[in-house]
Amino acid sequence: MASKNEFGTKIGLIAATVGSAVGLGNVWRFPAETQTNGGAAFLLLYILCVLLLGIPVMLAEFSLGRGGRSDTIGVFKKLSPGSKWWLTGLLAVIASYIIICYYMVVAGWTLEYFIESVSGGLYDSLTDADSAEALHGTFAAKMDEYVSSDMRPLLFTYAMIALNIAVLLGGVRKGIENLSNVLMPLLFVILLVLCFITLSLPGSGEGVKFFLTPDFSRITPATVVNALGQAFFSLSLGMGILITYSSYYPGDTKLVNTSVIVSLLSLLVAVLMGLIIFPAVKSFGLDSEPLKGATLVFVTLPEVFANLPAPQVWSSLFFLLLLVAALTSTISIAEVSVKMMIDRFRLSRKAGVLIVMLPLLALSAVCSLSFGSLSDFRIFGLTVFDLFDHITTNVFLPLVSLGVCIYMGWFAPKHLLSDELSNKGTLRSPLTGSIQFIIKYVAPILIATILISNYL
Ligand code: PHE
């Protein structure tokens, strides 16, 4: 019988890890990045980055987490006592905490849009005579109302914080694992249903072509950097999440298989999402608008749904999908700090959860208000929301991944990596040698290049 601080089943452990990896990064950020970076060529680069670099770096985190069996800071202290490597763990905890502050706000929007879809509020002012422009205007105004007013989005952010607290208090098995076991299959079913619907729309072929036929002339150094950034974000790398979750993996979990399954499922979700969005958008000729970030899913897609019979049904399903993706990810990222509190300060889970989550009531409020009353408050020309997003994605996450790879490749106890990859020599995988080579040499060089290129 495994302890309550371990995932109970293999399926549960994979569901929880996939739940973390599949988040707004796949369903929201990926289509927007693909759109701005030229379509299929970006998809191809993203796939290469996930397979060649993402999987090895994920394995570095898994080996560190399961080998050290502690929180993100504790693993370094335990494996290399007296060294300063724990600072890498600290950076990961700080990064993950900054990310929750703004991610919780977007998670709140998904809840708001889901509720407004179910109740019909999102579609209540439409008439059959609305022109395409009128429709666009309506949804742009709705988004303004839902996102930019001061109180409304805040209430939904708080609701998401409350949901997170409820699940986190349940602990690893009863909270995180049980929830993921139910929500992940649901997410895949919704994805397949929506994909089927959009692919059967007239004219959807154009969208599929844009998404799947690469135009290599559009690849620039910036595209490569963006693809790698997207791959790392969508696999939850550099945030301490995978170190934390793998510390709950039983000793006989096959890490290489797990990382391949998690990465492929995360990729699959991104690809299915592309197959939902691009055909739908092309089919209704909505791709002339700049499809950037939030507008893509919160304005353009409601426009698509309004053009279908029974818009409320599709809209509810879609925002439920987003909500599920966001919830399982917020839980994983909050658990990084919760476990840190429990292990470092010997707190009970209850105290840890409350100490981590309650300050978010104020911190995510500041991020939410970045779209309302605080939109003019700028630091380095960015709103608080954008600043938090920017420093984490472009600076902290690559720095943490760089630190983890250098540590695991060069400074960790001698056989840690190979022992973890092979479950102490009991498994043989033809991939182990190449994985170690990538962690030691290829990943650090590439990540450092990206970090530097961000400043050029
Ligand atoms: N892979 C996650 C995503 O795509 C990354 C993430 C996890 C971000 C948790 C924030 C919180 O959204």
Q: Which residues contact 277 (CB under 8 A, 6 or more apart)?
A: 31, 198, 207, 296, 297, 301
Higher local confidence (pLDDT), 441 or 429: 441
Q: Is the CB of 21 under 6 A from ligand 1?
A: yes
- 66-96 b/e with 16+ CB inside 10 Å = b? bbbbbbbbbbbbebbeeeebbebbbbbbebb
Which residue in this structure is represented by tokens 């409820």? 166
Closest CA to 154 of 99, 112, 97: 112
- The pLDDT, as a whole number, for residue 1 is 43
- The pLDDT, as a whole number, for residue 77 is 98
Q: Is the CB of 253 under 6 A from ligand 1?
A: no
**What's the CA gap between 428 and 430, in Å, rounded?**
7
Q: Is the CB of 259 under 6 A from ligand 1?
A: no
Q: What are the residues facing 379 on neighbouring strands?
A: 382
User: Per-residue pLDDT averaged across 101-123, rounded?
Assistant: 95
State the distance from the centre of ligand 1 to the C-alpha of 20, rounded, in angstroms: 6
Closest residue by Cα to atom 5, ligand 1, is 236
Q: Is the CB of 233 under 6 A from ligand 1?
A: yes
State the distance from the centre of ligand 1 to the C-alpha of 92, rounded, in angstroms: 14
User: 382 by DSSP, 3-state: which?
Assistant: strand
Tens of pLDDT, residue by residue over 369-418, are 998 888 888 998 898 988 898 889 888 999 999 999 999 999 999 999 99
State the distance from the centre of ligand 1 to the C-alpha of 233, rounded, in angstroms: 6
- The pLDDT, as a whole number, for residue 445 is 95
Tens of pLDDT, residue by residue over 354-372, are 999 999 999 999 999 998 8
Mutational pocket test of ligand 1: of 28, 103, 331, the residue with most ligand atoms within 8 Å of the beta carbon: 103
Please state the pTM of the whole predicted model: 0.93
The phi, psi pair for 135, rounded to 5°, reads -60, -45
Q: Is the CB of 24 under 6 A from ligand 1?
A: yes
Mutational pocket test of ligand 1: of 96, 109, 233, 336, the residue with most ligand atoms within 8 Å of the beta carbon: 233
Q: Is the CB of 25 under 6 A from ligand 1?
A: yes
Tens of pLDDT, residue by residue over 202-216, are 888 988 998 998 888
Closest CA to 391 of 403, 379, 374, 402: 379
C-alpha to C-alpha distances, 111 to 117, 337, 340, 361, nearest whole angstrom: 10, 24, 28, 17
Q: Is the CB of 19 under 6 A from ligand 1?
A: no
Mutational pocket test of ligand 1: of 323, 332, 364, the residue with most ligand atoms within 8 Å of the beta carbon: 332
What is the atom index within ligand 1 of the atom nearest the CA of 325? 12
Q: Is the CB of 97 under 6 A from ligand 1?
A: no
On average, the pLDDT of the chain sits at: 91
Tens of pLDDT, residue by residue over 418-431, are 999 999 989 988 88
CA 134, chain centre distance (Å): 33
State the distance from the centre of ligand 1 to the C-alpha of 52, rounded, in angstroms: 20
Q: Is the CB of 98 under 6 A from ligand 1?
A: no
Phi-psi sector, 83: left (phi>0), alpha (psi -120 to 50), beta: beta
**What's the CA gap between 288 and 286, in Å, rounded?**
6
- The pLDDT, as a whole number, for residue 386 is 87
Tens of pLDDT, residue by residue over 261-280, are 999 999 999 999 999 988 88
**What's the CA gap between 414 and 419, in Å, rounded?**
9
In the numeric block, which tokens belong to residue 445? 């060089």
Mutational pocket test of ligand 1: of 105, 160, 333, 367, the residue with most ligand atoms within 8 Å of the beta carbon: 333
Task: Judge contact between 392 and 103, C-beta under 8 A.
Answer: no
State the distance from the centre of ligand 1 to the C-alpha of 327, rounded, in angstroms: 10
Question: Is residue 220 very low, low, confident or very high in pLDDT (cuts 50, 70, 90)?
Answer: confident
| CA R_g for the chain | 21
State the distance from the centre of ligand 1 to the C-alpha of 236, rounded, in angstroms: 5
What is the atom index within ligand 1 of the atom nearest the CA of 332? 9
**What's the CA gap between 357 and 168, in Å, rounded?**
10
CA pseudo-torsion sign 414, 53, 107, 372: positive
**What's the CA gap between 254 and 252, in Å, rounded?**
6
- The pLDDT, as a whole number, for residue 451 is 83
- The pLDDT, as a whole number, for residue 304 is 87
- The pLDDT, as a whole number, for residue 280 is 87
Mutational pocket test of ligand 1: of 236, 263, 360, the residue with most ligand atoms within 8 Å of the beta carbon: 236
What is the atom index within ligand 1 of the atom nearest the CA of 24? 12
Tens of pLDDT, residue by residue over 306-358, are 988 899 999 999 999 999 999 999 999 999 999 999 999 999 999 999 999 99
Question: Is residue 145 very low, low, confident or very high in pLDDT (cuts 50, 70, 90)?
Answer: confident
